[in-house]
A and B are shown apart, each in its own frame.
Chain A
């Protein structure tokens, strides 16, 4: 037998009256902290502090301690000379693909599969996403994320989303793949479409952020500013033009809890393992494929074809076309390649922003197909429009500021 909604609640009322007794409720310290972090007046400064702490720990541990302090020394000092020495046929095509430039004195400029590819994956990206996921797991398990969602709700409504959208957004800062999966917690197709499109275009993943910190620390602030600006600007536009509903959001804010070490460990491990399975093959393969494309002259050819667009519309050097093609396989790799191209700081900002927004990496792409081919096509249409408009806009801003 089926009950109506009202009958069901009636019945539950009767059951609850007979089974539940409420004692006197004492306001605990936990409740007080919970309220402080959710009320805008105190919550927003706390949220900024938390984000700043997150960022500082990320930068100092991942960048300074692991990458510069350990990995760079290991790869440049030991591994690179060793593999350059031991791999046969210096100057040949196989050497070029696997090891790269035989005269390179650091792992960045070699650009072989086993030199730059391995260094980027293990030396830079791995520490970055490890620290990122560890801290995210901590924030999740303590119960801070729903509070952040409540705080940011109003702002996200402007772009057709609501507070929960912070979950896919932050997950994407680690890797866009789980971010795309997490868009399922949004209710309507409109919201999922907007979220997925914005993620794919404007949210740089941990790999990209890690590598930006390493190779363009001075200009990275500008890159992030342009990406955040684009996220809200195009979110606002999409919200206006996409039909559909953006419902209000009701959230059950859980109490703060003590995180369980075993759960943290498991969570970080699962995510790191995911990185090794999904991202590592793409980094190495991407490196190899790009080298092959260079060897066959394809990149020079497409560079020539596209150079009018790149040089006159986006205002970046022709040489950036190659990295942009590599970006489809791995964006972190593309940023590394850009960093060794001769250009002005503003061109660097423009080209790194372009790498970020121009196309989702293969792994994200595959995930988006899984979520809905129709949505993907729509997202791609938006993407091309955004790249063209936003790339031009950034160039224009540069011209107006007199730096481009």
Chain B
């Protein structure tokens, strides 16, 4: 199995990667650090899966070279599953990227990362409702301390492609 770790720059993807594979990647508190992508192996239910730390990207419409790499990597791995890492205190932007990836038919799990920082800012996300609307597993995580990581990997096998029409219906839109 192929798993791509995607998300905005600076949401903690590389920390996730370290947690999941125990490899040598470093995360900086500024975007643009992971420019050469990194691969590693992780176990899911005793099965080896290849995990790729994709450079941070804001959308699938690339605006610099690092983002081009990210988009190309997604398109080269048509049968991959995606872990989409989203900043829990700014989910709108993260969901934008998640929707774009879902529209292309990739199965996905969403990590609402930096959950602790969101709680500090008094921002609360209704995880169950978000999960219901999007139709994909959503897990609150704190990558730095490791919270939620195990739950995230266990949900990976439930990831499946969703229809955008269903999301629209679930969100209660008429269009």
A48 at the interface (CB under 8 A from B): no
Chain A hits for B10, CB < 8 A: 252, 254
Q: Given A11-B168, A19-B126, A255-B117 in contact, is the A182-B35 Cβ separation under 8 Å?
A: yes
Docked complex Cα distance between A345 and B148 (Å) = 62
A47 at the interface (CB under 8 A from B): no
Contacting A11 at CB < 8 Å: which of B63, B124, B173? Answer: B173
Interface membership of chain B positions 83-96, coded 1 if the CB is closer than 8 angstroms to chain A and 0 otherwise: 00000000110011
The reply to whether B171 and A18 contact each other, CB–CB distance below 8 Å, is yes
Contacting A142 at CB < 8 Å: which of B24, B29, B32? Answer: B29
Chain A hits for B173, CB < 8 A: 10-11, 14
Docked complex Cα distance between A51 and B125 (Å) = 40
Chain A hits for B175, CB < 8 A: 7, 10
Chain A hits for B40, CB < 8 A: none
The reply to whether B63 and A187 contact each other, CB–CB distance below 8 Å, is yes
Interface membership of chain B positions 54-89, coded 1 if the CB is closer than 8 angstroms to chain A and 0 otherwise: 000000000111100000000000000000000000
Q: Given A14-B171, A19-B129 in contact, is the A140-B29 Cβ separation under 8 Å?
A: yes
Contacting B65 at CB < 8 Å: which of A12, A18, A184? Answer: A184
A270 at the interface (CB under 8 A from B): yes
The reply to whether B92 and A12 contact each other, CB–CB distance below 8 Å, is yes
Docked complex Cα distance between A349 and B105 (Å) = 61
Chain A hits for B123, CB < 8 A: 20-23
Q: Which of A71-79, A99-107, A260-268 contacts B (4 or more CB under 8 A)?
A: A260-268
- In chain B, what residue has the closest Cβ to A9? B96
A32 at the interface (CB under 8 A from B): no
Q: Which of B45-53, B150-158, B159-167 contacts A (4 or more CB under 8 A)?
A: B159-167
The reply to whether B133 and A257 contact each other, CB–CB distance below 8 Å, is no
Name A113-159 residues within 8 Å CB distance of B: 140-143, 145-146, 149
Docked complex Cα distance between A16 and B133 (Å) = 11
The reply to whether A23 and B92 contact each other, CB–CB distance below 8 Å, is no
A8 at the interface (CB under 8 A from B): yes
The reply to whether B64 and A184 contact each other, CB–CB distance below 8 Å, is yes
The reply to whether B130 and A185 contact each other, CB–CB distance below 8 Å, is no
* Sample of 22 A–B contacts (CB below 8 Å): A1-B164, A2-B164, A8-B100, A11-B168, A13-B92, A14-B171, A16-B91, A16-B95, A18-B129, A19-B130, A23-B122, A23-B124, A25-B122, A142-B29, A143-B29, A146-B29, A185-B32, A186-B64, A252-B8, A254-B10, A254-B30, A266-B26
Q: Which A-B residue pairs are the 4 nearest by beta carbons? A: A23-B122, A185-B32, A267-B26, A143-B29
Q: Apart from A20-B123, A182-B32, list 7 A-B contacts with CB within 8 A.
A: A14-B171, A15-B134, A16-B95, A21-B126, A184-B64, A192-B65, A267-B26
